Amino acid sequence: MKVGDLVTLSQYGQNLGSIPYRFKTYSGRKERLIGLVTEVRNVGEMARYLSENECVQYRVRWVAEGPPGRDYFASYFYRNDLKFIR
């Protein structure tokens, strides 16, 4: 995944407890949640303590209102939280 890719929340990302219910597809949401990857950040030095998935953080700018991040205090997502839009 790189900067400029169109993404949405994966099923794993929707099942995170910190994602508000209104952003989940099974909440009756009519429109699809679409976002643009704006930044890809490698954690670097901490990589030996993290899984391969957690080494890279993705910042997403949503077209409409969307969740700020995967946690209440974080403004980034991991790779398994997102999926490409087809």
Q: What is the pLDDT of residue 71?
A: 87
Q: What is the pLDDT of residue 44?
A: 73
Task: Examine the pLDDT at 61 and tell me if it is beyond 90.
Answer: yes
Task: Examine the pLDDT at 29 and tell me if it is beyond 80.
Answer: no
Structure-token match 């990857």, residue found: 37
Integer-rounded Cα Rg, in Å, for the chain is 13
**Residue 60, beta-bridge partner list:** 37
Task: Examine the pLDDT at 82 and tell me if it is beyond 90.
Answer: yes
Global confidence as pTM: 0.84
Q: What is the pLDDT of residue 64?
A: 87
pLDDT tens for 62-77 read: 998 888 898 888 889 9
